[in-house]
C-alpha cells in the first residue's frame, strides 16, 4: 500500500501513485494532466468533463471521453449551444456518456452562455485565476488540496457569469488538469525536467 509518495511505474520511473493504476491513467498522467490547455472549446471540454466526473472516478470519464466528444459535437461551444430538447433526450439515452440529467442540462446551458462570450474570454477568465506564485511541490498525495482560494474565486467568477456545475472542487480539478497549477509530486518524473 502506498503512503502517498511517488511510486515506480512499469518503466521504473517515479510517478504520482494515482497515475499508475491503469494504462489509461499512465498515458493521461504522463501526457496530459497538468499541461497547459488554452482555447475556449478545449477549456469548455475540460470543464464539462470535470463536472461529469463529480461523484465518480476520473477513469470512468477518461474511458468515455471519445463518447463524450461524439455526443457533444467535439465540445465546440457554438455547436453545443444549438442543441435542442430532442438532443438532450438523445443524450439521456447515450450509453457512451454518463447519463445524468442535471449534468447534461448544465453542459448544454453552459454552452449557450459561453456562445455569447467574446472569443478568448473563457480562456482569459480561467487563466486569470492561476496562482501568481507556484506553491511548493507536494511530496505526498495528502499535501495536494481539493480546493484553494484561487479555485474558490474561479468558481465564483464562473457562477457569476451564469455557468453551472462549477463548484470550487470542480474548479480546482480543472486548474490541475489544465496546468494552472502543477500538482505532480516532487519526485514525479513528469514534474522534473
Q: How many residues does the chain have?
A: 193
Which residue's entry shows cell 471540454?
A: 45
Name the active-site residue from 18, 33, 44, 50. Answer: 50
Respond yes or no: is residue 50 known to be catalytic. yes
Name the active-site residue from 18, 25, 28, 44. Answer: 28
User: What is the SS3 assignment for 128?
Assistant: coil
87: which strand partners?
none
Q: Give 151's contacts (C-beta < 8 A, 6+ positions apart).
A: 129, 168, 169, 171, 172, 175
Residues 97, 64 contacting (CB under 8 angstroms): yes
Which residue's entry shows cell 444549438?
A: 82
Residues 4, 141 contacting (CB under 8 angstroms): yes
Respond yes or no: is residue 25 known to be catalytic. no
User: For the CA atoms of the chain, what is the radius of gyration?
Assistant: 17
Name the active-site residue from 32, 58, 105, 186. Answer: 58
Respond yes or no: is residue 95 known to be catalytic. no
Residues tagged active-site: 28, 50, 58
Amino acid at each position: 500500500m502506498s503512503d502517498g509518495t511517488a511510486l515506480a511505474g512499469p518503466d521504473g520511473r517515479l510517478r504520482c501513485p494515482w497515475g499508475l493504476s491503469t494504462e489509461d491513467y499512465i498515458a493521461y498522467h504522463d501526457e496530459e494532466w497538468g499541461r497547459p490547455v488554452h482555447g475556449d472549446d478545449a477549456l469548455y471540454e475540460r470543464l464539462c468533463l470535470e463536472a461529469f466526473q463529480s461523484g465518480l472516478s476520473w477513469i470512468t470519464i477518461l474511458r468515455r471521453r471519445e463518447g463524450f466528444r461524439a455526443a457533444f459535437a467535439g465540445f465546440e461551444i457554438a455547436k453545443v449551444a444549438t442543441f435542442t430538447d430532442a438532443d438532450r433526450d438523445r443524450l439521456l439515452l447515450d450509453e457512451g456518456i454518463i447519463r445524468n440529467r442535471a449534468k447534461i442540462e448544465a453542459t448544454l446551458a453552459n454552452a449557450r452562455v459561453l456562445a455569447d462570450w467574446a472569443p478568448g474570454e473563457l480562456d482569459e477568465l480561467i487563466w486569470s485565476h492561476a496562482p501568481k506564485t507556484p506553491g511548493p511541490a507536494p511530496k505526498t498525495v495528502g499535501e495536494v488540496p481539493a480546493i484553494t482560494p484561487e479555485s474558490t474565486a474561479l468558481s465564483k467568477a464562473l457562477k457569476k457569469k451564469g455557468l453551472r456545475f462549477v463548484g470550487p472542487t470542480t474548479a480546482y480539478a480543472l486548474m490541475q488538469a489544465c496546468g494552472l497549477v502543477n500538482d505532480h509530486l516532487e519526485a514525479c518524473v513528469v514534474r522534473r525536467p
